[in-house]
Structure formats: structure tokens, C-alpha cells
Amino acid sequence: MIPTSQQFDVIVVGMGPAGSSVAFELSRAGVSVLGLEKQTHPRYKVCGGGLSARIEQYLPTDFKSVVEEEVHRLHFTYGPEESYVIDSEKPFVYMVMRSRFDQWLVHHAQVAGTEVHQNETVTRLKALPEGVEVETDKGRYFSRVVVGADGALSVVAQQLFPGRRLQKVPALESEILFGEMNLGAGQPDTQLRRYANVAIISLNAAKKGYGWIFPKHHGLSIGVGEFVRGDSRPKRSFQQFIQEDPNLSGYVVPPPVGHPLPICNGYADKKGQRWNGGLVHTHALLVSDAGHLVDPLLGEGILYAVRSGQLAATTIVDYLHNTNRHLEAYEEAIIQELGPEFRIASRLNKVVYGIPRSWHRWVGRTFPVSYQGLLRRYCGMLQSHETYRTLWARMMLKLQGPFATASKRADLS
């Protein structure tokens, strides 16, 4: 028998980075929040756990207490012979294990005042004139607003956003541990430890995507993602990727676990359109993966989880306090802040994954300085020195060469 409903201002479904961020901000603003999470933290989450350094501006500084490694070197490879190394004194990426990072975020939300029910699964949502009724395997609740932060397979999106059918691409990952496990395979782990502070991005690993090796304190996260839907075979790509890496040969790599990646691959190119599939419907908002807010070039999602959670919270606080405000302001904020960036990332997705790998090799060999320069700029974006827009403008400037106008050059200098 399901108990009768308890009431909250806001119910957040899913307490990953997006849910915890929105809950934290709302609780800090004095809103009553219930966070419902079907698992119990700390829980394993299939994820590379790479946070681009620009996330610093959105997280409290003590997030570094859960950082496993700082990456100061990015190593891009296109095959055994082509590789580009970009170094920086400041970190490009912070590496986290999602179990620790997500637990830390949930804890912050709880300290701020969020009531969190773990091990409780949302099963049904019903839109009512004044809010939403949320049913779980343990109870029934009512809130004025519901936030869908329940990831790529969002039940909130399925039930409250009918007809929303968006693409997801396949990604998978395995964790290889230093020490014990690999000693079991008769190998010392010295070769693996060479990857400390280095992140490997291999465009050779997948047909229309890339493979990664990310360093963690206790081991390495190794994965492959296909960023264009089609006849992808990520498991086969993964096996090939680990077999081709000389430093991994002979080590035990556990079978990878797959998870869909809801990249934003169709965001409106025309001004004035809604975000792909819509992010607001009556009293419900979708954030992060549930709203397909994943960077379509490299699949970065955690930054956008935190940021979309913050933007959603700002809108909700405004809406709860002022009757003339509307929740659509959240979608407008996303379109304004992320729209232009994701639009260019979508274009780059087509350029990077659409052209054959042999062309990349040819361009890299023929224009090594420009190619390396472009990669360096991309890495600068991870540190907030560039945006997708400035990166794209620089690419266009290079293509226009002497025909580029002086004003365009001045804009980017």
C-alpha cells in the first residue's frame, strides 16, 4: 500500500551531478526540495570522469578533495605514427571517480537542506493543474515543480514529454586497476602508471568517435564512444583499442560496460526555435542527460549537468516567488548560453567524425604546425581560454587566409 502524498516545492528525480546541483541551489535559496534516487550513493557510474578545468567556475573549491588526478598533458593519436602532445602547467582536466564525486555532491545538497531518499525509484508521474504527482516504489508525493535529472533513460522525459524521440549514441567503459589485479596477471603495473597525469584521446579507436584512457588514483578508465549513429560496433572497437596500445598489452582489462550517451546532435540552427525536443513542459523541467545536454564533439556531460542544474534552479526560485514568471525562462537561458556553443560543436562533430581518418592524417602531416595549433586552441577551451565560437572563428580565419578582413582578425586577437 502506497502512503498518501507528502508535499514539496520541488521534487528532483535522480541525484547524479545534475540533480544534486539543482537541489543544492534550491535548498540554499530556502526552497523545500525532495531528491529521489533509485540507487544508494556511493554507486558506480559508467563514465570517464573527466571534468574540464573550466568546471572550477561552477563548483565550490573544495571539489578538489575528490579529484583523483590532475591532467597536464593531452595526447591525441590517430594511429601508431601520428600523435600530438599538448602540455600545460595548469591542469586541462580534473579526473574523478563518479562514485566519490557524486556522493560529495549529494552530501552538499543534504547539508544545504535537501531531503534525499535513496534506494527509491520513481515509477509514475502525473501532471496536475497545480503541479505534479510523483509515485515511487515506496510512496507518493506532490510538488509544484518536478526536475528530471534522471539521466539518459529519463522516466520524467518519457512520461511528461510525450513524443520526445531523440538520438543517443553508444559509449562503453572499463576500469583497469593498478596493483593487485594486474600482478595476478603476472605483470608489474609500472607500464600502466606511465599514464599518470596524461589523458589519451585516440581518434583511431572508433570508426566515428574516439577512445580514451583517463588516469585515476587507483587505475585507468578506458573507454570508447561512437559519436555518429550508424553501423557502430563499440565492443569490437574497444577490443581493438586495448590490443593496439603497447602499454596495455598483457594486462587484465575487465569487459566494458555500455551506457547510452544522449549527445545534443540536432539543436535548432534557426534562431527562435525551441531546444531540441523541449526542456520545459507545464510543471516539469529536464536538465543534463535527461534533456540531451551533452557536448556532441567529445561527449562532455558533467559540466553541463552542473550548469544546467544551476540555470534550472535560478528559474525555479524566480517562478516560485513571482507569479508572473514562467518556467520557460530556463529553456531560454539554455538556448542563450549553450545554444551557440553546441551548434558549433555539432558542426565540428560532422567535420571531425565525418571525414575519413586518412584525411586527418594527411592534414596533420601536410600542415603540422597549424594542426598542432588547432589542437592547442581546443585544449585552451578546456581551461576557458577559448570557446567553441572563438575556435570556429579562428578556423574560418585560417581558411580565408589573406582574404579575411582586418576586423575579423582584430576580434580574435
Ligand X SMILES: Cc1cc2nc3c(=O)[nH]c(=O)nc-3n(C[C@H](O)[C@H](O)[C@H](O)COP(=O)(O)OP(=O)(O)OC[C@H]3O[C@@H](n4cnc5c(N)ncnc54)[C@H](O)[C@@H]3O)c2cc1C
User: Would you count residue 171 as binding ligand X (CB under 6 A)?
Assistant: yes
Closest CA to 308 of 326, 335, 283: 335
Phi, psi of 61, deg, nearest 5: -60, -25
Residues 307-336 that bind ligand X (CB under 6 A): none
The reply to whether 25 sits near ligand X by the rule CB under 6 A is no
Give whichever of 216 and 364 is closer to ligand X, judged by the CB atom: 216
- The verdict on 263 binding ligand X (CB under 6 A) reads no
Binding of ligand X at residue 46 (CB under 6 A)? yes
- Assess 35 for contact with ligand X (CB under 6 A): no
Residues in region 365-404 near ligand X by CB under 6 A: none
140-148 vs 131-136, strand pairing mode: antiparallel
Nearer Cβ to ligand X (148/364): 148
96, 240, 263 from 260: Cα distances, Å: 20, 20, 9
Candidate ranges 143-151, 187-195, 246-254, 381-389; the one touching ligand X (CB under 6 A): 143-151
Q: How far is the CB of 17 from ligand X (least distance, A)?
A: 5
Q: Is 274 left (phi over 0), alpha (psi -120 to 50) or beta?
A: beta
- Which C-beta is closer to ligand X: that of 280 or that of 303? 303
| Residue 100 parent element (H or E) | helix 98-112
250 close to 176: Cβ distance less than 8 angstroms: no
215 binds ligand X (CB under 6 A): no
Q: Choose the binding region for ligand X from 108-116, 160-168, 292-300, 364-372 (rule: CB under 6 A).
A: 292-300
Q: Would you say 310 or 393 has its CB closer to ligand X?
A: 310
The only residue of 10, 11, 18, 146 in contact with ligand X, by rule CB under 6 A: 18
Return the residue of 5, 6, 39, 383 that touches ligand X, per CB under 6 A.
39
Contact (CB, 8 A) for 82 and 365: yes
Report the residue number, 364 or 386, with the smaller CB distance to ligand X. 386
Residue 68 binding ligand X, by CB under 6 A = no
Closer residue to ligand X in complex, CB, 146/172: 172
**Minimum CB distance to ligand X smaller for 36 or for 333:** 36
3-state helix, strand, coil in the chain (%, to 5): 40, 25, 35
Helix residue ranges, H only, 245-338: 302-321, 328-337
Q: Is 45 in the site for ligand X (CB under 6 A)?
A: yes
Q: Is residue 38 at the binding interface for ligand X, with CB under 6 A as the rule? A: yes
Report residue 267 as a C-alpha cell: 539543436
Query: Angle at which helices 339-354 and 388-400 pack, to 10 degrees?
Result: 50
122 binds ligand X (CB under 6 A): yes
Residue 213 vs residues 148, 176, 179, 198: alpha-carbon distances, Å: 31, 10, 17, 8
The region of 77-85, 239-247, 299-307, 395-403 touching ligand X under the rule CB under 6 A is: 299-307
CA angle 327, 329, 332 (to 5 degrees): 135
* Min CB(298)–ligand X separation in Å: 8
- Which segment (139-147, 298-306, 330-338, 380-388) binds ligand X by CB under 6 A? 298-306
Q: Which of 19, 209, 296, 339 binds ligand X (CB under 6 A)?
A: 19
Which of the stretches 125-133, 166-174, 242-250, 403-411 binds ligand X when contact is defined by CB under 6 A? 166-174
- Is residue 175 involved in binding ligand X (CB under 6 A)? no
**Residue 150 lies near ligand X (rule: CB under 6 A):** yes
What does 112-141 look like in DSSP terms, one character per residue?
HT-EEE-S--EEEEEEETTEEEEEESS-EE
Among 25, 226, 245, 289, binds ligand X (CB under 6 A): 289
Q: Are strands 33-36 and 50-52 parallel, antiparallel or unpaired?
A: unpaired
Report the residue number, 162 or 401, with the smaller CB distance to ligand X.
162
DSSP-assigned states of every residue in 332-381:
HHHHHHTHHHHHHHHHHHHHHHHS-HHHHHHHHHHSHHHHHHHHHHHHHH
Residues 6+ apart with CB under 8 A from 94: 50, 51, 53, 55, 63, 64, 67, 69, 70, 71
Cα–Cα distance measured from residue 238 to residue 82, given in angstroms and rounded to the nearest whole number: 19
Does position 173 interact with ligand X (CB under 6 A)? The reply is: yes
Per CB under 6 A, residues contacting ligand X are 13-19, 36-39, 45-50, 121-122, 149-151, 155, 171-173, 223, 259, 261, 288-290, 294, 299-303, 305
